[in-house]
Amino acid sequence: MQDTNGSVDDATHSIRVIILDEQNLFRDGISRILSTQPGIEIAACADNPAAAVESIRKLRPDVALIGWAAGSPNTHRIFSAIQDARLQTRVIMLVEDEVKEDLLEAVRQGCCGIVPRQTSTEMLVKSIRKVHAGEFWLDRTTTAEVIRRLAKKSTPGPGGGARLGLREQGGALSAREREIVTLVAQGFKNKEMAERMFISEQTVKNHLHNIFDKLGVSDRLELALYAIHHNLHEQG
């Protein structure tokens, strides 16, 4: 999910970023750091939801960095504004070290990245560029924690299966592949899926390889995030 070159996605277009946080020192510090990065432009900063919504609607930024809690009314207003205006703005949440349950809801609402507030400048810049390029961004520790929390909240029924609505790429997924996508998002390992589905671990791996190709993801972490983003972890 993460690359090592940190190259600018499109040399002809700066990534326009808006920073939303009520802590002036933190917000202004991030703004100064990012303004020195090639290919990144600070479109605006805001310390309250009203100003944030107005700036997002008027400026239509590429990426919004949100420092408010994922489950706060402020954050919900931002997601609603982006969705209502059908903007292409992609959201990155800046969070404290501990992962909160409400991050799961943020992913469902459209959050594309979760970055610790204590992260390095290099990682923050990479996250902005990767999210702007259409990918999800979570470090492996955060991703594992999100999936563990999701697994605790979701227990699949005996038959497995997934809700329809997957944005399929490169060919339709089979019913068995959709079942595997659901189980991966719920935190199941290959061995557990094999036992549950009465197939071999190698067969599970073969299915995962095909799923990766069809959806354009590179590993099970990206697949899990994709599934969570599209509500495929829920039964129904």
Which range (119-128, 130-139, 189-198, 220-229) has the least confidence?
220-229
Tell whether 130 and 206 lie within a shared domain.
no
In the chain, the number of structural domains is 2
Residue 138 belongs to some domain of the structure: yes
Q: Binning pLDDT at 50, 70 and 90, where does residue 1 land?
A: very low
The mean pLDDT value for 17-21 works out to 97
**Do residues 69 and 102 make contact, with C-beta atoms less than 8 angstroms apart?**
yes
pLDDT tens-digit series, residues 27-67: 999 999 999 999 999 999 999 999 999 999 999 999 999 99
Q: Binning pLDDT at 50, 70 and 90, where does residue 126 land?
A: very high
Tell whether 110 and 182 lie within a shared domain.
no
Which range (18-32, 50-64, 80-94, 212-226) has the least confidence?
212-226
**Do residues 124 and 36 make contact, with C-beta atoms less than 8 angstroms apart?**
no
- Domain end, chosen from 144, 173, 195, is at 144
Tell whether 109 and 158 lie within a shared domain.
no
Q: Tokens in use for 182?
A: 């659901």
Q: What CATH number is given to the structural domain containing 212?
A: 1.10.10.10
Q: Which residues contact 179 (CB under 8 A, 6 or more apart)?
A: 160, 161, 162, 197
Tell whether 167 and 53 lie within a shared domain.
no
**Do residues 79 and 91 make contact, with C-beta atoms less than 8 angstroms apart?**
yes
In which domain, by residue range, is 61 found?
15-144
